[in-house]
Homo-oligomer: A and B are copies of this chain.
Amino acid sequence: MPQDTADPVGGRAWQRRKRLDHILATAERVFAEAGFEGASMAELAAASGLPKANLHYYFGTKEALYTALLDSILDLWLSATDSIRPEADPAQALEAYIRTKMLWSRSRPFASKVFANEVLHGATHLRSYLAGPLRTLVQEKSRVVQGWIDAGRMQAIDPPHLFFAIWAMTQTYADFSVQIGAVLNRPELLPEDHAAGTDTILQLVLRGCGLEPQEPLPVAEAGRAAVAPPRRRRRG
């Protein structure tokens, strides 16, 4: 061992990274449930099984820990729109986007809640992200959607507001899961609830954009037997 700058796999830096990730994962849950001010360093320490001072050693301040957590969430956030490309089929692209967002609401509900809490309270730590990368992304993807509209490939709609609607409908299954669970009379949301939500959102967006196969419409002519529900795959 001629040099002590070496840091092989399993070394100190890796140990450190592992501990940082463990703290961040715990903080995601605690901050999601209590908010920034509602969560105390004592609570965060207890939840991660470490002494309070240890958290300060790794992150300095509570706010630094919080912003590190936000950064780790935003990394994930921007990549979801990959399916929205000019050459893609509009229906398939929107469906893939909605399914991806719904998957995250189920797999990363705490991340969604931390983000929601931050925006709800003014996005003090997110201003530059919202007005920067996010706005750029929405502008870019809106041009793609507008291109589909101009080419007659889908019904006209205001593209940015379409994105706002999709974000709202998908993220509500994470952020407002307590309300949805209470209304559906469940202790917590089941996979089939997410599946039914996905079906509903897909129907609203795809039909709303004129992208669903238009089955015989039940317009003014009642008296017919109830139309069969347009059940999609992955039904619960």
- The residues of A with any CB-CB pair to B shorter than 8 Å are 33-38, 113, 116-117, 119-123, 127, 130-131, 134-135, 138, 149-158, 160-162, 164-165, 167-169, 171-173, 175-176, 178-180, 182-185, 196-197, 199-201, 203-210, 214, 217-219, 221-230
User: What's the number of copies of this chain in the assembled complex?
Assistant: 2
> Which B residues are CB-close (under 8 A) to A162?
200, 204
Where chain A touches its partner, the secondary structure class is helix
Structural contact, A175 and B228, CB atoms closer than 8 A: no
> Which B residues are CB-close (under 8 A) to A135?
182-183, 185
15 A-B contacts, Cβ less than 8 Å apart? A34-B121, A35-B35, A35-B37, A37-B38, A38-B38, A123-B179, A155-B217, A156-B226, A156-B229, A157-B200, A164-B176, A164-B183, A165-B204, A205-B208, A214-B217
Q: How far is the CB of A201 from chain B (nearest CB, A)?
A: 6
Q: How far is the CB of A23 from chain B (nearest CB, A)?
A: 21
Bound Cα distance A135, B184 (Å)? 7
